[in-house]
Amino acid sequence: MCGIAGKVDFAGPVDPLLIDRMCEVLTHRGPDSRGTYVRDGVGLGVQRLAIIDVAGGDQPLFNEDGSIAVVLNGEIYNFQELRRQLLGRGHRFSSESDTEVLVHLYEEHGDGMLAHLHGMFAFALWDAGRRRLFIARDRVGKKPLFWARKGSTVWFASELRALLEDPELEREVDPVGIAAYLALQYVPHPLSAFRGIRKLAPASRLSVTADRDEIVGYWSLDYTPKLEGVPTPELEEEVLAQIREATRVRLMSEVPLGAFLSGGVDSSAIVAAMSELLVEPVKTFSIGFREEDYDELRYARLVAERFGTDHHEFMVEPQALEVMPKLARHYGEPFADSSAIPSFYLAELTGRHVTVALNGDGGDESFAGYHRYVTDHAVKRLDWLPAPLQRAASIARLVREGPEENSLRTRVNRLGRLLAMPPQERYAMRMSMFDKARQGSLLTAGFRDRLGGAHPEAFILDAWAGSTASDHVDVMLDTDVRTYLPGDLLVKMDIATMAYSVEARSPFLDHRLMEFAASLPARHKLCGTSGKHLLKSALRRQLPPEILNRRKMGFGVPIGRWFRKELRHLPEEVLLDRRSLDRGYFRREEIERLIREHRAERADHASRLWVLLQLELWHREVVEAPPAASSTLAGRASGSRSGPAAERVPGAGSSPRTTLP
């Protein structure tokens, strides 16, 4: 696992010092070594986290005559098989690294090389003979890649802040990206928070030459062929076999590895598979909260005891919000999934013990684990009602929202609004924090004018429309795989783990396992009010019933309570500060209403306030900050593996008031 960056100028030289500065910002992603290649208008850089061929795998790596160079962020799990094939065809290798496979595979197959790769990756390959830059991301989007082009010059990097080291790229905020962020809690690909900088989409390759650039997709899930007529016991055995194999290939490592364990079905399934495949006890790591509704430690302990793991725990307190500025710096653009907080602390705890950690990410999107799939599918069944009855039922939207997001009044209000919508708009609204109507109340007239009519929920609607699935459940899963998974969950985990030089691996995101899950009839995923139906039945012999039958909790943070008690002053102090209001984004009276209603427990606006807070912190920590490599925000000062950390939450024991810049 690494951080990569580079610049190609087809009309002039590249400054080697710029490549070093870009790498410096990425030091936390790869503290073990730095490699650069600067020649003839090309600059490639990499910060390496050494996991495979620790002694001999430093990058960049080249083909036999040095005409092709590559830098890789990620792992190629089938590299040994590919290496044997390439050796048989006469290619010569200088290392035992998975990275070197890429240059020879490119020589052999050209752009078609991607079909042969099994792994998580973002790589950049320079073909000197053709004066061509070739960049690609893995199928699901585990590894990030930002890029930009101005005239004859192109830049790329694993993190957005590395691009900002070049003053040629302006820090001009993209209002469309901000509006999309307000809706989704993240900036979706291909947008970024800055004009002119884009994210390469998952399962895409980018070819850049002096006179053109071209993006081509190379993979997507196909939900149309179904395994009808296969006995359920056979499907259960195949599920277990797929999980076991996906886990096995992710145990490839020359450094210590462990697992994140929440006590949910997915992470527990991975720990079960690891325990079966490894001789020594699995090292497991969990996060807990004092608030019982958010704490999963009892379930994690149950699984740890079941499989005899070497278990480690960490408790998150309200003072953990002191990490907010650090979150803004690392994500590089506004990001408002509040579970990034425990993810950061979990990564810090894990990084003290191991370098590689497996997790359960992706199980929900393949096997229908989110509660929204159940409720949205139930609402879909009401579409057959005559229009007058639908209109009558939609009156429920007039019920005032309750004090909590899952309170009865809030659910009734949401149901009333959903009933009046077609399925795709219904799902887009469900996935939006500030939907079109809420943005109409929140945004100033001046900011709305800058949007040029852009629809904040268009990314969800487009993904829904582009799905080839026929079943409503599969369409929801496909939409999430195209949007929420790569835009939110994978970004959250990549940034959190890389901040502490930990490589996260996700067996449920193995593309072969995902293709198998897509081929399952929807009834095996969502059955009545039960999600993950086949997955849970397959795991009955491995996991305790307390794990399989528990309600899904997610990885949330009790910010609703914190914003009413220990941190009640934080939203007001930041969002109503003159510095924030002068940006001209939001109407003061609407922010005051959100704060007032939340404090009075008339509604649960905690997540919306969090979205606004993270946007403001991003402005202060990224947009208005000096280049990171020349400031105290440099990667080595922001969380890389540079020494032992105390086994407690930073700020514990101090005043509960959190002060932000």
The larger pLDDT score, comparing residue 335 to residue 644, is at: 335
**CA gap 435, 189 in Å, rounded:** 18
For domain 232-367+480-548, say whether CATH 3.30.420.40 is its number: no
**CA gap 543, 321 in Å, rounded:** 34
The pLDDT > 90 percentage for the chain reads: 76
Q: Which among 83, 96, 118, 105 is positioned nearest to 245, based on CA atoms?
A: 118
Q: Taking residues 218-227, what's their average pLDDT?
A: 95
pTM for this entry:
0.90
- In this predicted structure, which of 242-251, 283-292, 356-365, 582-591 has the lowest mean pLDDT? 283-292
Question: How distant is the alpha carbon of residue 575 from its chain centre?
Answer: 26
pLDDT of the residue at 587: 97
pLDDT of the residue at 403: 63
Which bin fits 323, alpha (ψ -120 to 50), beta or left (φ > 0)? alpha
Q: Which among 37, 41, 11, 32 is positioned nearest to 22, based on CA atoms?
A: 37
Q: Report, in this order, helix, strand and coil percent for the chain, each rounded to 5.
A: 45, 15, 40
- pLDDT tens figures, 598-650: 999 988 999 999 999 999 999 999 999 887 665 433 333 333 333 322 222 22
Confidence of residue 400 (pLDDT cuts 50, 70, 90): low
Confidence of residue 85 (pLDDT cuts 50, 70, 90): very high
Please, what CATH class does the domain formed by 2-217 belong to? alpha beta
**CA gap 267, 274 in Å, rounded:** 11
* Measured CA angle at 231 (ends 229, 236), to 5 deg: 125
DSSP state of 620: I
pLDDT of 590 above 50 = yes
**CA gap 330, 231 in Å, rounded:** 48
- pLDDT tens figures, 475-486: 999 999 999 999
**CA gap 42, 453 in Å, rounded:** 39
pLDDT of 239 above 80 = yes
CB 432 within 8 A of CB 457: yes
- pLDDT tens figures, 413-443: 666 666 667 889 889 988 999 998 899 999 9
Q: Taking the domains of the chain in order of start, what are their residue ranges?
A: 2-217, 232-367+480-548, 559-627
